[in-house]
Amino acid sequence: MSFKGSLSRVEADLSVSVRKATSIDETAPKRKHVRSCIVYTWDHRSSKAFWNGMRLQPLAGNDIQVFKALITIHKVLQEGHPSVLKDAQTNLNFIESLGRSPTSSSSYSKLIVEYSRFLLRKLHFHKNHPAFNGMFEYEEYISLRTINDPNEGYEAIMDLMNLQDAVEDFQKLVFSALHHGRSNECKISSLVPMIAESYGIYRFIVSMLRAMHATTNDDEALEPLRARFYSQHARLLDFYYDCSTLKYLTSIVTIPKLSQAAPNLFSEEDESGPS
Amino acid sequence: MSKLVRSIKNVASGYTTTQVKVRNATSNDMYGPTILEMEEISQLTYQNYELLEIMDMVDKRLNDKGKNWRHVMKSLVLLDYLLHCGSESVVLWCKDNIYIIKTLREFQYVDETGADHGKSIRIKAKEMTSLLLDDDKLRAERSDKKQW
């Protein structure tokens, strides 16, 4: 039996999408192919075929393809069915191996190493906090739970902030890898999921910190978190500003607008102005 | 011309009258869908069997490729209308399949002349996603149909 014959029709379609998303051209992974991968995981409530498709791609040896694979994986982790995050835990070695594969000569090698490291950290976070989805979308019950257990909440916020720092490190690397006068589309497209990631984390931290301030009444204990939040807010503001100067990026995503001053953590209502 | 081809395709593929209505409303023509077309389809969503056929076709159109961006855009417009004026089942379908709309928020298509046809789709998909996630607003808009 030939290998092709053992795949069902939809799985064959999926593997075409994976192949096209990780093509050899130095462009962004095409949205339509990435979208088919995402939609597949929802249609079938499973991501096994996606991971299989990825593993079967002959990626090694071409840095552009490996980098595009990492972007694609990141997007499917974010937007795909929750089972993607779960199945990813069994594919940690694969993601790690992608990070070991770059040839040392290209401008992508550093980016690949760091991207795979970042994805591993993200997956580590999701393993420890399975209640979060890939985009960190705000779900009320989590913040309620963390209020009941401030220690757990404290830890969750610390972990989120560590992840936010990892985003920050990676995006700096991307900006420093951009070359003048060349099409940087492929590198820039890795910022798209990073913007989504950082904004999701940011909003989650804001609502969680507010909830904790409202219930614990222990300002002193929360002081280190506050200080760290303020500095992250300032750096995030810079990051989004830098992004808004990239025309290619602004044409495909809306870059979130943060207020110049950090939001007030002591009240639910007042969006601006220091406390 | 394209209309003729479509009418042949409709027969050849054995689409039902309901599906033909959806296909016509979400075609590649410059205009449409008209309120009349959308109104007719929204009435049909109150019949279970027709509903499945409508949603099936809308689903196909929403997943169409970039060159057929008009299919995608018009299906979003139609779906938005059905969400407001169609049966409750449309709302349930949309909620179950929200990822189809969500993932269109990054839809991209730039034609040969460099015109970006994706933008209106991205905006529409964003609006509809936030509406679907806001139950109160959706209920309010559904009960006040005069807005349309």
In A, minimum Cα distance to B98 occurs at A42
Q: Tell me how close the Cα of A253 comes to any Cα of chain B, in angstroms.
A: 7
Residue A3: band (very low, low, confident or very high) from pLDDT cuts 50, 70, 90: very low
A42 touches chain B (CB under 8 A): yes
Q: What is the pLDDT of residue B78?
A: 95
Residue B123: band (very low, low, confident or very high) from pLDDT cuts 50, 70, 90: very high
Q: What is the pLDDT of residue A269?
A: 52
Name the average pLDDT for chain B. 90
DSSP label of B116: B
Residue A106 has pLDDT above 50, yes or no: yes
Residue A155 has pLDDT above 90, yes or no: no
B107 touches chain A (CB under 8 A): yes
Residue A251 has pLDDT above 90, yes or no: no
Q: What is the pLDDT of residue B12?
A: 85
Task: Respond yes or no on whether ipTM tops 0.95.
Answer: no
A194 touches chain B (CB under 8 A): no
Given B97, B103, B106, which is nearest A253 (Cβ)? B106
- pLDDT tens digit string along B54-113? 999 999 999 998 899 999 999 999 999 999 999 999 999 999 999 999 999 989 888 888
% of chain B exceeding 70 in pLDDT: 97
- What residues of B are in contact with residue A253 (Cβ under 8 Å)? 106
Looking at per-residue pLDDT, the higher value among A142 and A95 belongs to A95
Residue A182 has pLDDT above 90, yes or no: no
Q: What is the pLDDT of residue A119?
A: 96
pLDDT, average across residues B121-126:
93
Q: What is the pLDDT of residue B10?
A: 84
- pLDDT tens digit string along A187-245? 999 999 999 999 999 998 988 888 888 877 777 888 888 999 999 999 999 999 999 99
Question: Which pTM does this prediction carry?
Answer: 0.86
Name the average pLDDT for chain A. 86
pLDDT, average across residues A54-60:
86
